[in-house]
Amino acid sequence: MRVRPGHAPATLAALLAGLLAAGPAAAQYVERNLPPAPPQRTPSIGFITPDLLKGEDDTPLGATLSGIVLLGAKDTPLAAPRRTGVDVERIPAVDPAALRTRLAAFLGRPISRKLIAEVQAAISGVYKDAGRAFVSVTIPPQEITGGALQVRVIEYKTGRVSVTGAERAGTDHVRTRVRVTPGAPIDSRQLETDLDWLNRNPFRRVEAVFGPGRDLAEADLTLRTTEQPRPWQAYVGYANTGTLLTSRDRWFAGVSAALPGEVLASYQATGSRDWWIDDGHPINDSDLAKYQSHAGRVIVPLWARASLELIGNYIQTNEQPNLYLRYRTRTTEFSALHRSAVQNVLPWAFGDLLLGVDTKHQTRELFFVGVPVADFGVDVFQMVGGWAGRFRDPVGVNDLDVRVKVNPGHMLPDNTSRAWSLYSNGRVDDIHYAYATVAYVHTTPLPRDFVLTNELFGLISGEPLPDTERISLGGAFTVRGYMTEDRTVDQAVISRNTLYLPGYSFGEALKLPWLNDRLVPYLFSDVGWGRDIFYGIDTTLASVGAGLDEQIGPFRANLAAGYALTDGPHTPAGSWRIHARVTATY
């Protein structure tokens, strides 16, 4: 803390009062408004569809299954096949033991069309589990009265490879990023990873389309590339995600672009109304604005399936809890995160390995009737490690991001326990800490175009965290139906569950081709628990509500109305809270 020279004797009482008044607000989380990260899209692969039998007809065909024989591409059906057990000797099976185990479970059951389809699906499943999803499983003409079933299994190999549509990226760039070799089996896991990394450029989409090759067991691959007309995008918008003392209004404008060398850059400016326009003057006095944020993101490709993400962020708030006191908080952050595919090291694995550092500097200046009387300053230095990835299960798609952050102390001048103890009024007395975050999303497609998403977020810490690392338990991005002031915590578990109803288009219903719109209503139920470790306060928030996501051409609006089920520090049970966000994109 530094008391301003010339004001110490006259303002000592005011300074003490300011410290007391600023205490609750000083423990608020840092409101960040970063430019959107490039979306992760599901890789598009046009698989060769196996000739599987369809139907649920379980009518017995006259025999009990006693043996299964797998045939290769050029094998003719056997006149006297092995009548017992599972024979996989004629094919180059990826996992013979798994095939035998999986298929042995069908022996002893009456042969039916349903059973044959299950056998085909089981064989395809073994290959898919091994990352070799490009396989044809067919039933050749045969006599099954003896109880033996012969199945032809053909694993496709890569034929010719071509690239189309890559005018800006270049044919060579797309081709060299996809690990397929003519004449070799197709590894679907590697192909999905390669397409995932190519499609992290939001201005381009690469699809893998397979077609018949020259030979029976060969598939030609076309990497069909679609590029947007403009490699850049600009947007403006409004959201009511602010706080009581810095105003609810958040107006923002941003731009993102693909630069030469596959570099992605984006910037977003966000501010309260008085930052953009004050008394009729645009951006009049930024030092007095209630809220302003300048954030940028640059993603630099390093080599195949590896990148360096740089994020810079500057945030300033002015909070005035009463007529006499005001405090200005400035937060400057910079992070560098190296992201690389785990497959670069372990070919059988999936997901991304994350390694990086965070540096942060925060200052708080106290004013008494407009006169600066004292200021504080602290630093944060953290090492970051983690893993992020997407994987499927039988009912949906899973996205998981796990990160661990460790502060070794020092490294920066004010990244010390003494500085933070003074800055936080004793709340943070040890800057040597470690904590973890877990973000998990499961997306489940349901019948009739319903979609269910289940989100789980965890903040795991054993001691009070610096202000820059805490989170708000309530708000549009945590427990909906509450305000961001509804408790800032060091530990948290938050569950968000949303059921999206089938979308509706007025343009399609009214036969208006010029009206390119999509309305998706949804219902939600959220619950969150958090703890302020220093004060030993546990808080549980829960809500239900409904909302809609509407897109009309370049305009998109999201509106959610949440009903609080439990009392929060600033939101009583039984009250409604509306979260709104509108964006126009060009």
pLDDT in tens, 135-192: 889 889 888 888 889 999 988 889 999 999 989 989 999 999 999 999 888 888 899 9
* Confidence class for position 499, pLDDT limits 50, 70, 90: very high
Task: Domain 49-155: give its CATH superfamily.
Answer: membrane protein fhac (3.10.20.310)
- Residue 284 is predicted with a pLDDT of 62
User: pLDDT above 90 covers what percent of the chain?
Assistant: 62
Tell which residue, 19, 154, 12, 13, has the closest CA to residue 74: 154
Rg (CA), the chain: 30
Mean pLDDT of 380-394: 94
Mean pLDDT score across all residues of the chain: 89
Q: 15 pLDDT exceeds 90?
A: no
Q: 283 pLDDT exceeds 90?
A: no
Q: 10 pLDDT exceeds 80?
A: no
Task: Using CB atoms within 10 Å of the CB of residue 387, give its burial: 0 to 12 exposed, 13 to 18 middle, 19+ buried.
Answer: middle
Name residue 6's amino acid: G
Contacts for 517 with CB less than 8 Å, ≥ 6 apart: 505, 506, 507, 550, 551, 552, 553
Contacts for 228 with CB less than 8 Å, ≥ 6 apart: 203, 204
β-strand partners of 579 = 560
- Residue 73 is predicted with a pLDDT of 83
* Confidence class for position 48, pLDDT limits 50, 70, 90: low
Dist CA 350 CA 362 (whole Å): 37
DSSP β-ladder status, 218-227 and 148-155: unpaired
- Residue 444 is predicted with a pLDDT of 95
DSSP β-ladder status, 44-46 and 204-212: parallel
Provide the 3-class DSSP secondary structure of residue 28.
Answer: coil
pLDDT single digits (tens) 292-326: 999 999 999 999 999 999 999 999 999 988 888 88
Question: Of 31-35, 39-43, 49-53, 147-151, which one has max mean pLDDT?
Answer: 31-35
- Residue 281 is predicted with a pLDDT of 64
What does 511-567 look like in DSSP terms, one character per residue? T-TT--EEEEEEEEEEEEEEEETTTTEEEEEEEEEEEEEEEETTEEEEEEEEEE-S-
Mean pLDDT of 527-551: 96
pLDDT single digits (tens) 257-277: 999 999 999 999 999 998 888
Domain locations in the chain as residue ranges: 49-155
* Confidence class for position 22, pLDDT limits 50, 70, 90: very low
Tell which residue, 458, 464, 462, has the closest CA to residue 423: 464
Angle subtended at Cα 99 by Cα 96 and Cα 103, rounded to the nearest 5 degrees: 145
* Confidence class for position 280, pLDDT limits 50, 70, 90: low
DSSP β-ladder status, 67-71 and 148-155: parallel
* Confidence class for position 91, pLDDT limits 50, 70, 90: confident
Specify the higher pLDDT residue, 492 or 371.
Answer: 492
- Residue 169 is predicted with a pLDDT of 87
Q: Is the distance from CB of 69 to CB of 88 less than 8 angstroms?
A: no
How far out from the chain centre does Cα 546 lie?
22
Q: 134 pLDDT exceeds 70?
A: yes
Q: 50 pLDDT exceeds 60?
A: no
- Residue 6 is predicted with a pLDDT of 46
Specify the DSSP class assigned to residue 442. Answer: E
pTM of the model: 0.87
Q: 20 pLDDT exceeds 70?
A: no
DSSP β-ladder status, 263-271 and 250-259: antiparallel
Q: 13 pLDDT exceeds 50?
A: no
